[in-house]
Amino acid sequence: MDAAAARAKTGRMNDNLTADRATFVTHLECSLTGEHYAADQLHNLSRAGRPLLVRYDLDSVRAALPRETLAARATDLWRWRELLPVRHTANVVSLGEIETPLVPIARSGGANVWVKDEGRLPTGSFKARGLVMAVAMAKELGVTRIAMPTNGNAGAALAAYASRVGIETIVFCPEDTPEVNVREIAAQGARVWRVNGLIDDCGAIVGRGAAEGRWFDFSTLKEPYRIEGKKTMGLELAAQLGWRLPRAIFYPTGGGTGLIGMWKAFDELERLGWIGRERPRMYAVQASGCAPIVRAFEAGEEHAERWEDAHTVAAGIRVPRAVGDFLILRAVRESEGKALAVGDPAILAAVDACARRDGLLLCPEGGATLAAYQQALRDGEVDEDEEVVLFNCATGLKYPLPAAEQRLDRHAPIDFDRL
By CB under 6 A, residue 219 contacts ligand PLP: no
By CB under 6 A, residue 396 contacts ligand PLP: no
- CA–CA dist 180, 404 (Å, integer): 19
Which residues from 85-144 bind ligand PLP, rule CB under 6 A?
A: 125, 127
Q: How do 248-252 and 281-287 pair as beta strands? A: parallel
Find the DSSP H helices in 65-119.
67-72
Minimum CB distance to ligand PLP, residue 41 (Å): 25
Answer for the pair 368, 347: CB distance below 8 angstroms, yes or no: yes
Q: Which is nearer to ligand PLP, 257 or 374 (CB)?
A: 257
By CB under 6 A, residue 363 contacts ligand PLP: yes
Count of residues near ligand PLP by CB under 6 A: 18
By CB under 6 A, residue 365 contacts ligand PLP: yes
Q: Which stretch binds ligand PLP (CB under 6 A): 41-49, 97-105, 158-166, 248-256?
A: 248-256
By CB under 6 A, residue 236 contacts ligand PLP: no
- CA–CA dist 157, 97 (Å, integer): 12
- CA–CA dist 398, 279 (Å, integer): 32
By CB under 6 A, residue 256 contacts ligand PLP: yes
**DSSP state string for 182-231:** HHHHHHTT-EEEEESS-HHHHHHHHHHHHHTTSSEE--TTTSTTHHHHHT
By CB under 6 A, residue 220 contacts ligand PLP: yes
By CB under 6 A, residue 149 contacts ligand PLP: no
Q: Which is nearer to ligand PLP, 150 or 169 (CB)?
A: 150
| Residue of 122, 149, 155, 316 that binds ligand PLP (CB under 6 A) | 316
- CA–CA dist 210, 368 (Å, integer): 34
| Residue of 100, 112, 232, 257 that binds ligand PLP (CB under 6 A) | 257
CA atoms within a 13 Å half-sphere pointing along the CA-CB vector of 153? 29
Minimum CB distance to ligand PLP, residue 218 (Å): 13
Crossing angle for the helix pair 292-299 and 325-334, to the nearest 10 degrees: 50
Q: Which helix (H) or strand (E) holds 156?
A: helix 153-165
Q: Which is nearer to ligand PLP, 257 or 375 (CB)?
A: 257
Closest by alpha carbon to 324, among 126, 32, 36? 32
Q: Which stretch binds ligand PLP (CB under 6 A): 29-37, 160-168, 237-245, 254-262?
A: 254-262
Q: Which residues contact ligand PLP by CB under 6 A?
A: 125, 127, 153-154, 220, 252-258, 316-317, 363, 365, 393-394
